[in-house]
Amino acid sequence: MSVEFIPLIFFSLAQIGTPGPANMALLATGAGYGLRRTLPFVAGVVVGKQLIIWPLGFGLMQLAQSWPGVFLAMKYLSAVYIIYLAWRVANMRLKPDQANGTPPGFVAGLIVHPLNPKAWGMITAAFTNFVTPGSDIFTATLSVALVLIVCQTILHPLWAGAGQLIASTIQGTRAERFVFLALALLTVITVFYVLFGDAI
């Protein structure tokens, strides 16, 4: 078999289910706007990972290894974008039915993973660890893409829903401001951990 499906599934669940820049953004956005209003953002995050999987599967890895500066640039673009989302979260305040402002939509979610170094590392690891060398490129890429999109479709809404549950307990209380600041801070911390964790 060209793809080791069972180990790939467990790997994907562990990676997608654990905290990272994307999940913290989902948690915080769900807290600010509720699960229903966050669903377009969730859908964008899910689809956005496909924008990495297919180019990697068809040889972008070789190009990236030849030009390591590409990954370095992506890391810092990721930091800027996710920190911008964190800043929005830090300044949120809840209304009885909805948060101030317009929630980030599908396009905002679409670019989270392409600018997320954790996503690039995870997808690279999926191809290098669970795909047999010499496998048919299309079949292997399709297999990885399907496993990841199913895992994301299950787990990403759970993160956004958890954010909504947090919000329902703090709305209108003095803790509201501090919870949003804490979510924003956790988002920034996950970004810096992904960027510099190997150096710690």
Domain that holds residue 143: 5-194
Total count of domains within the chain: 1
200 assigned to some structural domain: no
199 assigned to some structural domain: no
Q: What is the pLDDT along the chain (200 residues), one digit of tens a residue?
A: 578 888 888 888 877 877 677 888 888 888 888 889 899 999 999 999 999 899 888 875 555 556 667 656 655 765 676 677 677 767 766 554 545 568 889 999 998 888 777 788 778 778 877 887 777 888 888 999 999 999 999 999 998 998 888 777 876 777 777 877 887 787 677 667 656 665 55
| Total-model pTM | 0.69
What CA–CA distance (Å, rounded) separates 49 from 109? Answer: 10
First-to-last C-alpha distance (Å) of the chain: 38
141 assigned to some structural domain: yes
What CA–CA distance (Å, rounded) separates 26 from 75? Answer: 19
What CA–CA distance (Å, rounded) separates 26 from 17? Answer: 12
